[in-house]
Amino acid sequence: MRHADLIIEAGHVATVDPALGRIQDGAVAVRGGLIADIDTRTAIHQRWRAPAVRREATALMVPGLIDAHVHPGLFFLARLAPPATPGQPGLLARGGQIERFLNLLNQGLKLDPELTLHAARASFLRSLETGVTYFNDAAAGDTDALAAAAAQIGLKGIVTYDFGADLGFDLAAGPPRPIRIAGVDRILARAEAIVARHNGKQGLQCWYNLLCDLSTSDELYRATTALALRDGVGINTHTATVRRHETASRRDFGRGSVRRLLDLGVIGPHWLAAHMGFMARADITELAARGGHVAHCPATSMGAGKGIIAAKTIPALRRAGVNVALGTDSAQWADLPRQMSLAFYAHKEVWADDSVLTPDEVLYMATLAGARACAQAEQRGSISIGKVADLVLVHTDDLAFVPFDDPLLAWLRSGVGALDVYVEGRLRVSRGRAIDLDREAIGRQAQEAAGRFLRQNA
């Protein structure tokens, strides 16, 4: 008989491990913060003893969720956005005013360390309480403060530095013309220093960041890629984000955005791009062959009116073998379980096919696909022996689950469910509320900081 620290039982375990699949009446043995064993409840108790046993006979157990693309520092951004109207839609709607939008981002959000800390803490708390146990910060704010916020909330993940770009746009020109706004050497020196300071510290990775292909010169792309490969870290970026993105890329660089990056040789397993809704179908096969990753954020696409869902690109990428993970984009959009629900529904509608994105595929996108995109597949993303014991239990004692035999289907259909969240085998969230953090203080301080942010940016 072997000894574990904890045994957690669940009525239904969706392991996301292809060798294990789903286990009815299952249990996980946890030892030293890792998954020591996974099997049926009876088999686990035959092999293991533990001083603590959590019995959740009706719960659904899934791996800890991985948010592959989030901007924790953008927690306050929604406070600045004016309500969209038919006469004045947002900058990303109806094809998108991509050049104007990138110019605004290039100016920065002026998030000082204190504002970044409060924004990111609130964002990370929301992530944790909705089942996220690993994150990929795609920039905005002070990196030191982002790392401090992650440490205070007790989350591990990837941090990066505020948006990197050496090109902006002269909006007075018709059409807008790219102009140099920063020196490549200065950008690279700052990036190297930040990556060196944070990568491998406090359980964090630190990646290089390029805001967008349209605001990045060939020189900066090649040099950043060389640094990422040298340092063994990834690159976060945004590309093919709105319909007009490809038009602008062909105008400014003579090729579509993905084709240009393929030609530059920057796409590979180290490369993760968000949104990716618009590209030539001929480039998808090569994108898959190079091993690039895509972060799909359904609520951003739908809420901003980008048209990515309608473009039918995301299922086409998956069918071609591209690794597509799910992200929230920031706390102003839906939390990750609701992103899962949106992905489950929306693509079926535009494809007119209810077999598109099965429940297990959507769960994979929110777990193991995210782990692959974040270079964490050996440690996270599935309930497998030897991996970190990041586990989520979805309580199914809710009317939303009553009509269903499959609790995973019910969870995605409803987008609701109280969660228990274990991080490295330790219970951090019970019934959707963090048990070891001062939630009220974090929320109050974030609200106060949001007011100051709004006054500064009014």
Q: Residue 381: which region, alpha, beta or left (left: phi > 0; alpha: psi -120 to 50)?
A: left
pLDDT of residue 79: 67
Mean pLDDT for 403-418 is 91
| pLDDT tens for each residue of 295-354 | 999 999 999 999 999 999 999 999 999 999 999 998 778 899 999 999 999 999 999 999
Which residue matches tokens 């909705």?
Answer: 130
Q: How far is it, in rounded angstroms, from Cα 140 to Cα 143?
A: 8
For residue 108, pLDDT over 80 is answered with no
pLDDT of residue 80: 67
With cut-offs at 50, 70 and 90, classify the pLDDT of residue 281: confident
Mean pLDDT for 30-49 is 98
Least confident of 69-83, 120-134, 326-340, 366-380: 69-83
Which residue matches tokens 């990045």?
Answer: 216
Mean pLDDT for 223-245 is 96
Mean pLDDT for 55-80 is 90
Q: Which two tokens stand for residue 357?
A: 């994105």
Percentage of the chain lying above the pLDDT 90 cut: 85
CB 334 within 8 A of CB 328: yes
List domains and CATH numbers for the chain: 2-63+389-424 (2.30.40.10), 65-357 (3.20.20.140)
CB 121 within 8 A of CB 430: no
The chain-wide mean pLDDT, for the chain, equals: 94
CB 359 within 8 A of CB 21: no
With cut-offs at 50, 70 and 90, classify the pLDDT of residue 174: confident
With cut-offs at 50, 70 and 90, classify the pLDDT of residue 36: very high
For residue 163, pLDDT over 80 is answered with no
E strand spans, 219-270 = 235-239
Mean pLDDT for 402-430 is 94
| pLDDT tens for each residue of 366-380 | 999 999 999 999 999
CB 56 within 8 A of CB 9: yes
With cut-offs at 50, 70 and 90, classify the pLDDT of residue 198: very high
With cut-offs at 50, 70 and 90, classify the pLDDT of residue 90: confident
| φ/ψ of residue 148, rounded to 5 | -65, -40
Q: How far is it, in rounded angstroms, from Cα 310 to Cα 307?
A: 5
Mean pLDDT for 41-50 is 98
